[in-house]
A = this chain, B = another copy of it.
Amino acid sequence: MTAKSSPIRLAVDAVVFGYSKQDGVSVLLIQRKYAPFKNAWAIPGGFVLPGESLEQAVHRELKEETGITVSYLEQLYTFGEPDRDPRQHVVSVAYFCLVKSSQYQELKASTDAANAQWFPIDELPELAFDHAQILTTAIDRVRLKVRYEPIGFELLDRKFSFADLEHLYISLLGRDIDRRNFSRKMLALDILQETDEFAKAEGKGRPSRIYKFNKASYLKQRKQGINFEI
């Protein structure tokens, strides 16, 4: 391994999705401190250490750079064009992650992650490297996936109002959905558990009922291949 042909380096990048009522579905980005692309926004990530699994690397980098803990992690795609990093040939395995709504709020309040920030998926800034492409791939994947697997719950806390769930889907899919058909389909899945609490109304309107996500039932059905379409 001589210096004249530097080896390929391996990195991971993590597209982190979060949700809040105010901002809708958002992505976590960090501001770069050094060249290249100094001060540009980028997807969190970094090099994989020898002996470390890819998922370990994602968790480690996210902890270091943002302090966040994810509730869902899935490999997205591996980006390997030789010129995607101007310094050297870096191949990056991209993941997409979902974090609970409570984590979303915590990060927003934290001063620790001063250079990390949420961006709604329809108001993204310019991005470093080929990160715009990675982000597009991630958004496409999540939009596709959420239609046949109920991963949306990973973005909400254990308890949530039906209205929240609906707004999440509207924000994620970027289009209106029929509230009546949506609720029928969701309830038919038998993975929601009704509680006798109600969301305290903000402003006008009838308060919506609070549900719990029944993860046990979800996992049981997942084994047999869940059927789910918005």
Residues of B within 8 A of A81 (CB): 53
Q: Are A53 and B77 in contact (CB under 8 A)?
A: no
Number of copies: 2
**Is residue A6 contacting chain B, with contact meaning CB distance below 8 A?**
yes
Can you give 7 A-B contacts (C-beta < 8 A)? A5-B50, A7-B7, A50-B82, A50-B89, A53-B80, A54-B78, A80-B93
Q: Are B91 and A52 in contact (CB under 8 A)?
A: no
Within 45-80 of A, Cβ neighbours of B (below 8 Å) are at: 48, 50-54, 75, 77-78, 80
- For A6, the closest partner residue in chain B by CB is B50
**Is residue A1 contacting chain B, with contact meaning CB distance below 8 A?**
yes
Among A7, A77, A78, A93, find the residue whose CB has the most chain B CB atoms closer than 10 A. A78
**Is residue A124 contacting chain B, with contact meaning CB distance below 8 A?**
no
Cross-chain contact of A80 among B7, B54, B77, B82 (Cβ < 8 A): B54
Q: Are B78 and A48 in contact (CB under 8 A)?
A: no
> In terms of DSSP, what is the predominant structure of the interface of chain A?
loop
**Is residue A8 contacting chain B, with contact meaning CB distance below 8 A?**
yes
- The answer for the CA separation of A81 and B50 in the assembled complex, in Å, is 10
19 additional A-B pairs beyond A6-B50, A91-B93, beta carbons within 8 Å, are: A1-B1, A1-B7, A5-B50, A8-B10, A8-B48, A8-B50, A10-B10, A48-B80, A50-B82, A50-B89, A51-B82, A52-B82, A53-B81, A53-B82, A54-B80, A54-B91, A75-B78, A78-B93, A80-B93
Cross-chain contact of A50 among B7, B51, B77 (Cβ < 8 A): B7
Among A6, A77, A81, A89, find the residue whose CB has the most chain B CB atoms closer than 10 A. A89
Residues of B within 8 A of A53 (CB): 80-82
How far does the Cβ of A173 sit from chain B's closest Cβ, in whole Å? 15
